[in-house]
Amino acid sequence: MQTTTTSTRTTLHQRIAELAPGVEVLLPEGEGPFPVAIQMHGCGGKKKLQARWAAVARSAGWAVVVVDSYAHRGISQFAAYATVCTGLQLWGRERAGDLFATMEWTRQQPWADARRIVVAGWSHGAWTTLDAMSMQPGAAMAKAARMADIPDAPFAGIVGAFLLYPWQGVGAMAPRAGLRIDVPIRAIVGTKDSVVGGKGVIRTLTNMKTPSRAIEVQVFEGATHAFDELEAQDWRNRYDPVLTERAHRLYAEFLTSLA
């Protein structure tokens, strides 16, 4: 499996400008600044489930930034399934540049509490998050993310990460590089997930640690990949409303613990 990325690197400001038109900001009631959850979609692109998860975060008093990594790249949903989901382009390490740019943009917003940022990732978005958290700071990080430059402190303000069914197979950096960002991480993985490997990914995450703590792995018995996607059309993914409600509750509890 090989990537088909180009050699072009964008500057931080260019990446922010590219992403900005596709960023969706959802604020809770009340006056800010608010803690912020940055949501990174899966390989199929930004879908309706992101709005439902955002509603959970907003009810917990968090602002939500929903990232669209495909609009500025001209990747259609068909192309996403054909090339990103199959690993032909846009591996997690490259998409990490979107996360760095979004975090930098978020820290500059008047409604955002720059000291309290959580990254939430689904599948490819979770892969992206873990790759970003495993990168060697400096030039190596910029090169991996296809960026000409990155913020001096790319993870400034992060207080946690919430991950759903993360890909940690071919191309993932975190299992071998280890995690460098020392914040609480909660991950949800189903035992019937045939996309990321289910029990295999559970073992990988259980053995993975930040500098001072293990990942909190929530095992969902019988859950498939994208069990939280009501509109799922892939035969491997089966929506489960009970497990989705449980996952939403865990998300709310996680955010509340970090507020």
Q: Which residues pair with 117 in a beta bridge?
A: 36, 158
Please indicate, yes or no, if residue 16 is contained in any of the structural domains: yes
Domain membership flag for residue 5: no
Query: Taking the CB of residue 120, how many other CB atoms lie within 10 A of it?
Result: 29
CA angle 217/49/128 to nearest 5° reads 50
Residue type, 184: P
Per-residue pLDDT tens for 94-131?
999 999 999 999 999 999 999 999 999 999 999 999 99
Answering whether pTM is above 0.75, one says: yes
Instruction: Examine residue 33 and say whether the peptide bond preceding it is cis (omega within 30 degrees of 0).
Output: yes
Mean of per-residue pLDDT scores for the chain: 95
The whole-number average pLDDT for the span 180-185 is 97
Whole-number Å distance between alpha carbons of 237 and 66: 22
Residue 180, class by beta-carbon neighbours within 10 Å (0-12 exposed, 13-18 middle, 19+ buried)? middle
Return the number of other C-beta atoms located less than 10 Å from residue 71's C-beta. Answer: 15
CA distance 205 to 116: 24
By residue count, the chain amounts to: 259
Q: Is 4 a member of any domain?
A: no
Tell me the residue range of the domain where 25 lies: 12-258
Q: How many structural domains compose the chain?
A: 1
Q: Does the pLDDT value for residue 81 go beyond 70?
A: yes
| CA dihedral (82, 88, 89, 92) positive or negative | positive
Asked which of 7-11, 192-196, 244-248, 249-253 is least confident by mean pLDDT, the reply is 7-11
Report the distance separating Cα 96 and Cα 140, nearest Å: 13
Amino acid at 71: A
* Residue 130 CB coordination number (10 Å): 31
For residue 230, what is the domain's CATH number?
3.40.50.1820
What is the spatial distance between Cα 189 and Cα 201, in angstroms, rounded to a whole number?
A: 8
Question: What's residue 2's pLDDT?
Answer: 33
**Is 2 domain-assigned?**
no
What is the Cα–Cα distance from 186 to 257, expressed in whole angstroms?
12
Whole-Å CA distances, 156 to 12, 80, 94, 134: 15, 30, 20, 15
Q: What is the mean pLDDT of residues 193-203?
A: 95
User: For residue 128, is it within any domain?
Assistant: yes
> What does the block give as tokens for 75?
């990747």
Instruction: Answer whether residue 6 is part of any domain.
Output: no
3 within domain boundaries: no
What is residue 91's DSSP assignment?
-
Rg of the chain's alpha carbons, rounded to an integer?
A: 17
Task: Give 205 or 136, the one with higher predicted confidence.
Answer: 205
The predicted pLDDT at position 194 comes to 96
| 47 within domain boundaries | yes
